[in-house]
């Protein structure tokens, strides 16, 4: 099949094309590896938070800024990076962003103090925001299969939460949190090699840049949806950086198992989100609604069994949010997908920043259960808000 637009790559078959290049599924999975290492790096502090805080002599609430700093940099970067790199080959951009993440993890692994660590985490925020902003458009340009690309990216997120955070928690106790970040350096390098091998060159969209973003910002339904995305992400990240603190308070011996349950819920949420790709109106409402249920149960924490159900629902609900909302914004603004996804990323990263800061204040001045309750309330509002926003593709 040949694309009429000469700036686009040729879409590929599922496994391999006649000239031997990787097909749609390997290409999507290659992008997923990058997503996996970046998400692992972003949220590893949640798995080693007590160790990190103790080593740097700060409170757990302040240590949670390791997540907030990354997200703040991402929120600033996501809507502007396409304007800075309007014509750059997207393959080279993605590889450069992975190398930036590698440098970030190196700075964090060697950081002697919290300010230095936060500086390293800012670099990671730039890498994550840029990678997420470009990856969906790159994947769709190569494969012409949006649901496959979105599901693969969310699969990378799920792998990170199923393996990355629980494994970081276990390894942090055994080898130390700094060694965990050293392992992330190796994983990031390996991901870059995979992407370099499997991803073909991808020219930038002809309309990429500031003009595309201004036009996307004029879509009122898109902006309303982005606001609900921010609310759902805010709900999650007011609580998530402190998940290990909460689990240790309930059942210290089962922390790793329950973190794994959160990750398994994430895998379920990823698959359900992909299944709902043809029912996005339902999907974007169901995701924060399930998150609401999980956080309500978590805030109540009457027993270990209820906490186990809570983290499973929590992981399921939150991990439905990225895949369903990514497809939602791309369908709301089909001619400006790169800009629409950048706004989704901005919403996520800004919400992570504010959520982590607010959650840290609540944890330090109240307790971790109050943070869970605040998250639950915000998730409920996001579900109601999405139910009120119609998904109407913009035609122009």
- Residue 46 sits in a domain whose CATH number is 1.20.1250.20
Whether residue 192 lies inside any domain: the answer is: yes
Angle at the Cα of 172 from the Cα atoms of 53 and 271, rounded to 5 degrees: 105
Q: Does 66 have pLDDT greater than 70?
A: yes
Contact call for residues 274 and 323 (beta carbons, < 8 A): yes
- 18 burial via Cβ count (<10 Å: 0-12, 13-18, 19+): exposed
Q: Of 2-16, 29-43, 83-97, 163-177, where does mean pLDDT reach its minimum?
A: 2-16
The tens digit of pLDDT for each residue in 85-141 reads: 777 888 899 999 999 999 999 999 999 999 999 999 999 999 998 898 888 888 888
SS3 content of the chain, % helix, strand, coil (to 5): 80, 0, 20
Whether residue 334 lies inside any domain: the answer is: yes
Contacts of 78 (CB under 8 A, 6+ apart): 129, 130, 132, 133, 342, 343, 345, 346, 349
Read off the pLDDT band of 21 (50, 70, 90).
Answer: low
Q: What is the mean pLDDT of the chain?
A: 85
Read off the pLDDT band of 3 (50, 70, 90).
Answer: very low
- pTM value is 0.75
Q: Does 203 have pLDDT greater than 70?
A: yes
Whether residue 255 lies inside any domain: the answer is: yes
Q: Of 18-32, 45-59, 248-262, where does mean pLDDT reach its minimum?
A: 18-32
Whether residue 9 lies inside any domain: the answer is: no
Q: Does 205 have pLDDT greater than 80?
A: no
22 by DSSP, 3-state: which?
strand
CA-CA distance, 8 to 6, in Å (whole number)?
5
Read off the pLDDT band of 19 (50, 70, 90).
Answer: very low
Contacts of 221 (CB under 8 A, 6+ apart): 332, 389, 390, 391, 392, 394
Whether residue 8 lies inside any domain: the answer is: no
Domain range for 171 is 24-388
Whether residue 395 lies inside any domain: the answer is: no
How many domains does one find in the chain?
Answer: 1
Whether residue 38 lies inside any domain: the answer is: yes
In the chain, the N- to C-terminal Cα span, in Å, equals: 26
The tens digit of pLDDT for each residue in 209-222 reads: 677 788 888 888 89
The tens digit of pLDDT for each residue in 349-378 reads: 888 778 878 888 898 888 899 999 999 999
Whether residue 393 lies inside any domain: the answer is: no
């Amino acid at each position: 099949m040949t694309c009429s637009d000469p700036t686009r790559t040729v879409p590929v078959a599922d496994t391999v094309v006649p000239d031997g290049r990787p097909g749609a599924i390997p290409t999507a999975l290659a992008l997923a590896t990058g997503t996996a290492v970046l998400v692992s790096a972003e949220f590893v502090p949640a798995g080693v938070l007590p160790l990190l805080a103790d080593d740097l002599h700060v409170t757990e609430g302040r240590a949670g800024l390791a997540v907030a700093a990354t997200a703040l940099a991402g929120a600033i970067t996501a809507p502007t990076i396409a304007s800075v790199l309007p014509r750059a080959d997207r393959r080279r951009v993605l590889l450069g962003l992975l190398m930036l993440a590698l440098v970030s993890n190196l700075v964090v692994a060697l950081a002697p103090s919290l300010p230095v660590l936060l500086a390293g985490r800012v670099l990671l925020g730039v890498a994550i925001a840029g990678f997420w902003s470009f990856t969906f458009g790159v994947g769709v340009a190569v494969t012409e299969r949006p649901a496959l690309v979105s599901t693969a990216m969310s699969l990378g997120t799920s792998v990170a939460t199923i393996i990355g955070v629980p494994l970081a928690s276990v390894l942090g106790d055994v080898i130390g949190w700094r060694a965990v970040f050293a392992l992330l350096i190796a994983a990031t390098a390996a991901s870059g090699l995979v992407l370099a091998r499997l991803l073909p060159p991808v020219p930038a969209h002809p309309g990429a840049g500031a003009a595309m973003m201004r036009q996307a910002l004029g879509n009122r339904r898109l902006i309303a949806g982005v606001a609900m995305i921010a609310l759902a992400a805010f709900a999650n990240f007011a609580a998530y950086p402190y998940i290990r603190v909460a689990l240790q308070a309930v059942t210290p011996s089962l922390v790793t198992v329950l973190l794994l349950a959160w990750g398994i819920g994430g895998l379920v949420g990823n698959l359900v989100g992909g299944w709902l790709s043809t029912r996005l109106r339902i999907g974007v409402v169901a995701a924060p609604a399930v998150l609401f249920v999980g956080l309500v149960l978590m805030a109540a924490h009457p027993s270990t069994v209820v906490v186990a159900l809570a983290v499973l629902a929590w992981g399921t609900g939150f991990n439905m949010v990225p895949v369903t909302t990514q497809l939602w914004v791309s369908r709301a603004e089909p001619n400006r997908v790169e800009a629409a996804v950048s706004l989704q990323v901005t919403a996520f990263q800004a919400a992570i920043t504010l959520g982590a800061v607010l959650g840290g204040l609540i944890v330090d001045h109240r307790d971790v259960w109050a943070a869970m309750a605040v998250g639950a309330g915000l998730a409920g509002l996001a579900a109601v808000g999405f139910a009120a926003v119609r998904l109407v593709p913009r035609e122009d």
